[in-house]
Amino acid sequence: MEPRLKLWLERNGRIVMSEYRLRLLALVAETGSLAEAAERMGLSYRRAWGKIKELERNLDLPLVESAAGGVGGGHTTITAEGRDLLRRFAEFQTQAEAAVNAAYERAFTRDRLQGAGNS
């Protein structure tokens, strides 16, 4: 038996960060291209753009900057605020997962529950 968890952040009842959104932002940071990030996530460019704009509105922070033109078209970079959010959420995720595993061990690996405990 093993613990599983899903984490996200809300602000005023709206999702402002999740594992999915983290992945999209991290791909923008990594590739410098929203088109490329969207493609790797199997999203349309329009949908990926919409997600990021929604996050920016809900967080009241700029997360990406776009520059048009140049050879090969425009590119999208992540802002300092976006990078900070990514770093913090990744840290939160890592620590939360470790803590949840520890809580599981404490609650479930003392005697009893043999049926489920041995798998």
DSSP character for 115? H
| Residue number with CB closer to a copy of itself (39 or 97) | 97
Cα–Cα dist 81/65, whole Å = 11
| Residue number with CB closer to a copy of itself (17 or 28) | 17
Which residue in the set 26, 40, 61, 77 belongs to the binding site for a copy of itself (CB under 8 A)? 61
Is residue 24 within 8 Å of residue 17, measured between CB atoms? no
**67 is a site residue for a copy of itself (CB under 8 A):** no
Which is it for strands 64-67 and 75-78: parallel, antiparallel or unpaired? antiparallel
Which residue in the set 3, 50, 73, 74 belongs to the binding site for a copy of itself (CB under 8 A)? 3
Residue 6: φ, ψ to 5°: -125, 130
Residue 58 burial (C-beta neighbours within 10 Å; 0-12, 13-18, 19+): middle
Minimal distance, residue 93 CB to a copy of itself, in Å: 8
DSSP character for 79? -
Minimal distance, residue 70 CB to a copy of itself, in Å: 30
**26 is a site residue for a copy of itself (CB under 8 A):** no
**103 is a site residue for a copy of itself (CB under 8 A):** yes
Minimal distance, residue 58 CB to a copy of itself, in Å: 9
